[in-house]
């Protein structure tokens, strides 16, 4: 007898199936979420930093360019420095090596046909221009590239230079050491170049890079890594190493490109980083072996040899070469009517030269760094030799302690290089030394005055200059603004005002403050009042290619009510590979990816529309501003293609 189907049972079966599918999806989502969370935690354990998409993007870009760190510390020189010697260099008959413009494709670092950075280096003096030549190694090169604006701004305040166009001629290259600086200037003069002023920033390479030449029987004063530059016929073992290096480097770049496609996944980024660090470690080992490989028995490589010197003896001898070369540069400049200024560069391994927090220590201080002992032993000798230069009438300035009052991160690697902020401080000190000679020679200041004496700040973004004038016995005033002149500005309360090395200030919070200005026992004061609306909008937008400006709007009721979570509406958003909303307790830069020291929080906007709504947390104390800005990034995830105005939340 047939049984009638139960209609209720037939209805239940699809429901059960849907519930099973829903449960499976939820379970899968939970598993994926836990896996992604695990990836973020693993990133934190491996790097010591919280996972952010910005940090992952920076790491991938570094891997693509070969700049990625193997770990928190590296006992070998950076990949960037290695590229400066090998991949981007070619032999030069007088300077040892220069850069090959055809192999260096970064448009932000143009190479002239002379193999030097920047435009044509041969310039002629005139009454309407002031030509400044820069000599030295990579620190000097970066001063010319990244500290140029600070250098120009400070020099233009000199009444003897004002009204003239200042032109910077960069004759510095990564790895240069004496006598290359001396020979570079001689060559430019022989070829018809003219200068008003020469700035020579050096010292580190002279005492630290001897271990690249001396162990291979090459004189310390030969150009760095000379054996590798001149070793035209490597041994079969060396050829194998170089081939393996090329293959590993390409595999590393390919892996970074794969990481780009999975940028949204913390787990994928951790797996990529784990594999990349293994590849970077292998590359570092191979490169170190390639650097230390015994060169061919070629007299052009070893020249007169080392006379059995140890590396440390060669480092000490290079101090004397450095001093003699500076004397020759001074004489050469004097013969050609050029002002010569010599500066000993700062370095993080000079004891007690800079307070460093955990972040900077992790990125830029390696107790086991191979160059550290040379700095600790060699810099006091350089300082003593510099005092002898001063006694001989040479304009020598020791800059090793210019960061002693700067606890914020400045050093960017375990070698010797500074971020843009550090280069600006360096530029201000160098310009002040130049202006002290040009403007203040023979003048004894009687007192100082500050302009203005009272200041009303209505923006948390804009920096306002405080001009400090020294008054001479004849009543004439001289601009001595900035720490380079020994002029110090402090604020009370200290956290109300952010003070830059050039003497400009920015309100760090609402309220009143008193600035105390001191120089050589003379003092002046400035009263400051700072206030602005709870929601403040800057004027720093970067339009997209279609001239549309991205806009962010806050919920004013939430701000007024003191809500800890604020709704942000983004509109006019252009299409881009990556779109972000950035928040920070400090003003936001043009590129959020290139800056890692501002306490940035980056929130990706994943939808493809032109509008989005994002929730952000307000974490700053009362009276302190919190800055917000929208960014659109290109496919490299490092270049900003559009940005909104900065919007600032402040609540008492």
Predicted confidence (pLDDT) at residue 66 exceeds the cutoff of 80 = no
What are 465's strand-pairing partners?
Answer: 504
Q: What is the CA radius of gyration of the chain?
A: 29
Q: Does residue 13 have a pLDDT over 60?
A: yes
Q: Which helix (H) or strand (E) holds 14?
A: helix 7-47
pLDDT digits (tens, 9 = 90+) for 166-182: 999 999 999 999 999 99
In the block, residue with structure tokens 């120009």: 152
Owner of token pair 């493809």: 608
Count the residues in the chain.
652
Question: In terms of C-beta density within 10 A (0-12 exposed, 13-18 middle, 19 or more buried), how is residue 317 classed?
Answer: buried
> Looking at 191-331, which runs of residues are DSSP E strands?
197-202
Helix intervals (H) in 337-471:
358-364, 372-391, 420-439
pLDDT in tens, 337-366: 999 999 999 999 999 999 998 888 988 999
Task: Give how far Cα 580 sits from Cα of 260, 279, 329, 550, Å.
Answer: 16, 30, 51, 11
Domains annotated on the chain, with CATH: 112-218+304-436 (3.40.50.1110), 441-530 (2.60.40.10), 535-649 (2.60.40.10)
Contact indicator for 525, 449 with CB cutoff of 8 Å: no
**Res. 134: pLDDT tops 90:** yes
Q: Is the peptide bond before 527 cis (omega within 30 degrees of 0)?
A: no
Sign of the four-CA dihedral 348, 349, 355, 361:
positive
pTM, rounded to two decimals:
0.73
Q: Outline where DSSP puts E strands in 279-367.
A: 339-344
Q: How high is the pLDDT of residue 9?
A: 58
**CB-based burial, 242-281: b 16+ in 10 Å, e otherwise:** beebeebbeebeebbeebbeebebbbbbbbbbeebbebbe
Whether 100 contacts 88, CB under 8 Å = yes
Distance, in Å, from the CA atom of 83 to the CA atom of 65, rounded to the nearest integer, reads 10
Task: Tell me how far apart the alpha carbons of residues 80 and 287 are, in angstroms, rounded to a whole number.
Answer: 13
Residue 40 CA to residue 46 CA, distance in Å, equals 10
Rounded CA separation 187/179 (Å): 12
Tell me which of 358 and 89 has the higher pLDDT.
Answer: 358
> Is 523 within 8 Å of 517 (Cβ atoms)?
yes
Gap between the Cα atoms of 162 and 370, Å rounded: 45
Query: pLDDT tens-digit profile of 293-306?
Result: 666 667 778 888 88
The mean pLDDT of the chain is 85
Q: Are 137 and 144 in contact (CB under 8 A)?
A: no
Q: How far apart, in Å, are the Cα atoms of 615 and each of 271, 566, 567, 602, 628?
A: 29, 6, 5, 12, 12
> Is there a contact between 514 and 527 (Cβ–Cβ < 8 Å)?
yes
Tell me which range, 179-183, 216-220, 441-445, is most confidently predicted by mean pLDDT. 179-183
Q: Write down the pLDDT at residue 69.
A: 42
């Amino acid at each position: 007898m047939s049984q009638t189907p139960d209609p209720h049972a037939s209805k239940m079966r699809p429901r059960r199936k849907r519930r099973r599918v829903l449960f499976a999806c939820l379970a899968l989502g939970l598993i994926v979420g836990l896996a992604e969370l695990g990836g973020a935690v693993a990133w934190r354990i491996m790097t010591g930093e919280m996972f952010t998409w910005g940090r992952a993007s920076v790491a991938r870009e570094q891997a693509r360019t070969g700049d990625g760190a193997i770990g928190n510390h590296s006992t070998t020189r950076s990949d960037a420095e290695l590229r400066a010697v090998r991949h981007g260099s070619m032999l030069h008959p007088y300077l040892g090596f220069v850069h090959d413009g055809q192999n260096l494709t970064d448009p932000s670092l143009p190479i002239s046909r002379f193999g030097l950075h920047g435009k044509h280096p041969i310039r002629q003096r005139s009454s309407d221009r002031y030509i400044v030549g820069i000599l030295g190694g990579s620190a000097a090169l970066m001063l010319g590239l990244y500290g140029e604006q600070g250098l120009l701004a400070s020099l233009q305040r000199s009444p003897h230079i004002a009204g003239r166009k200042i032109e910077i001629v960069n004759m510095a290259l990564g790895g240069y050491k004496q006598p290359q600086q001396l020979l570079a200037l001689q060559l430019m003069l022989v070829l018809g170049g003219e200068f008003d002023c020469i700035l020579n920033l050096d010292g580190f390479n002279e005492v630290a890079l001897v271990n690249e030449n001396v162990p291979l029987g090459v004189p310390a004063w030969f150009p760095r890594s000379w054996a590798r530059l001149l070793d035209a016929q490597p041994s079969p073992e060396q050829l194998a190493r170089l081939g393996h290096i090329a293959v590993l480097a390409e595999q590393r770049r390919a892996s970074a490109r794969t990481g780009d496609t999975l940028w949204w996944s913390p787990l994928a980024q951790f797996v990529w980083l784990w594999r990349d660090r293994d590849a970077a470690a292998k590359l570092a080992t191979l490169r170190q072996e390639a650097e230390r490989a015994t060169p061919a028995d070629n007299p052009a490589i070893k020249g007169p040899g080392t006379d059995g010197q140890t590396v440390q003896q060669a480092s000490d001898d290079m101090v004397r070469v450095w001093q003699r070369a500076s004397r020759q540069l001074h004489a050469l400049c004097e013969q050609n009517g050029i002002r010569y200024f010599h500066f000993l560069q700062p370095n993080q391994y000079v004891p007690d030269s800079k307070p460093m927090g955990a972040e900077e220590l992790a990125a830029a201080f390696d107790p086991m760094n191979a160059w550290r002992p040379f700095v600790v032993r060699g810099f006091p000798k350089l300082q003593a030799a510099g005092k002898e230069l001063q006694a001989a009438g040479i304009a020598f300035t020791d800059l090793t302690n210019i960061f002693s009052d700067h606890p914020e991160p400045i050093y960017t690697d375990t070698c010797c290089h500074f971020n843009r902020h550090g280069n600006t401080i360096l530029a201000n000190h160098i310009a002040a030394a130049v202006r002290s000679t040009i403007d203040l020679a023979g003048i004894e200041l009687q007192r100082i005055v500050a302009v203005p004496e009272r200041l009303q700040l209505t923006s948390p973004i804009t920096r306002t200059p405080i001009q400090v004038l020294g008054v001479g016995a004849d009543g004439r005033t001289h601009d001595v603004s900035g720490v380079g002149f020994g002029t110090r500005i402090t604020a009370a309360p200290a956290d109300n005002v952010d003070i830059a090395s050039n003497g400009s200030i920015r309100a760090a919070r609402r309220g009143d403050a008193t600035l105390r200005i001191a120089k050589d026992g003379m003092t002046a004061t400035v009263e400051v009042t700072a206030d602005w609306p709870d929601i403040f909008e800057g004027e720093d937008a970067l339009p997209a290619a279609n001239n549309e400006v991205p806009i962010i709007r806050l919920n004013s009721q939430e701000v007024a009510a003191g809500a800890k979570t604020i709704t942000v509406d983004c509109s006019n958003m252009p299409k881009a590979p990556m779109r972000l909303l950035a928040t920070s307790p400090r003003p936001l830069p043009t590129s959020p990816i290139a800056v890692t020291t501002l306490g940035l929080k980056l929130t990706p906007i994943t939808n493809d529309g032109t509008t989005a709504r994002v929730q952000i947390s307000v974490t700053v104390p009362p009276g302190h501003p919190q800055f917000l800005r929208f960014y659109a990034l290109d496919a490299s995830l490092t270049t900003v293609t559009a940005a909104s105005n900065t919007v600032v939340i402040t609540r008492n």
